[in-house]
Amino acid sequence: MSSNYTTNTVLAVIVLIVAAIIFGPLLAIWAINTLFPVANIPYSFDTWAAIVLLGAFTRANVTVKK
């Protein structure tokens, strides 16, 4: 039973990661459209890909040394 539990857990985590990758950029577009109604960004594959690329280039890499 333990093996089945871990398999289901791994599958659930993979599904959540894929959902975040797919819906995360759409939520970013929605947030921009909500905050700045003048932007009026359409929901399309091009804008989704642009948000993904923008997020990849603006990702912060922070390290703290004690």
Q: Mean pLDDT of successive 10-residue segments in the chain (66 residues)?
A: 75 94 92 93 93 84 82
Give 34: exposed, middle or buried? Use CB within 10 Å, 0-12, 13-18, 19+.
Answer: exposed
State the pLDDT at residue 3: 67
Is-contact 17 5, C-beta < 8 A? no
Is 6 within a domain?
Answer: yes
pLDDT at 66: 82
Task: Identify the domain containing residue 7 by its residue range.
Answer: 2-57
Domain assignment present for residue 64? The answer is no
Domain count, the chain: 1
